[in-house]
Amino acid sequence: MSSPTAPRRRYHHGDLRAGLVREGIALLAETGVAGFSVAKVAVRAGVSSAAPYRHFPDREALLAACAAAVIGEITDLLAEAAERAGPDPADRLAATASAYTRYALDHRAGVELVYTHDFAAEHCQTVHEQSRRLTDTLTRLAADVLPADTPWAELLDFVYVHLSTAHGYATLLAKGGRLPRDADAHAARARTAARDHIAGYLARRAAGQP
């Protein structure tokens, strides 16, 4: 019998894999990794407990697919936020911090899975491909903001700090189940922090400081 908060859905064979991933992400948001199981995902999808194994050989494979999907969603969301922000490179990059924070607040455990779960070697590539796409997206946006002679390693470190700031704004509040009363305002603070990071970096470069 399904939970009142998890109505049974019927997926046709052709879209079952994508449906299982969607239900898996939703389950992660509710229960975290500890409460995640293939059987629970099957119940949410309205299919037999054996059906998921046609697409995923084990729990780890389904978790990896969920993690990859989360990263893919984040990447698409950040790209869209940058486009909506307009032509200014700093505005475009700062908008990704706000969008990331809001996504992390809404999805919580699904985002934590990306950073905390130790995937087995056979599943790492699934996650790595999407992680590289996310990094490439942010790196391109950051490259438009920073001086053209910024060393590659410094550019990557800048992106790391940018993403860490946005992630921290979401996860520090979400710990212990406490969410901000105004998630949009909290995401806006992440945008402001990103702008401060950009301005501080550019000021140090202009002054010849490391």
For residue 1, name the pLDDT band (cuts at 50, 70, 90): very low
* Average pLDDT of the chain to the nearest whole number: 86
Q: How far apart are the first and last CA of the chain?
A: 60
User: Residue 40: is its pLDDT beyond 50?
Assistant: yes
Per-residue pLDDT, averaged over 58-67, amounts to: 93
Q: What is the rounded CA–CA span in Å between residue 21 and residue 41? A: 8
What is the structure's pLDDT at 53? 93
**What is residue 180's predicted lDDT score, i.e. its pLDDT?**
56
Tokens, residue 118: 């130790």
pLDDT on residue 175: 56
Q: Which of 164, 145, 139, 135 is nearest to 75 (CA)?
A: 135
Highest mean pLDDT among 10-24, 36-50, 165-179: 36-50
Task: Determine the Cα–Cα distance for residues 178 and 175; give it in Å rounded to an integer.
Answer: 6
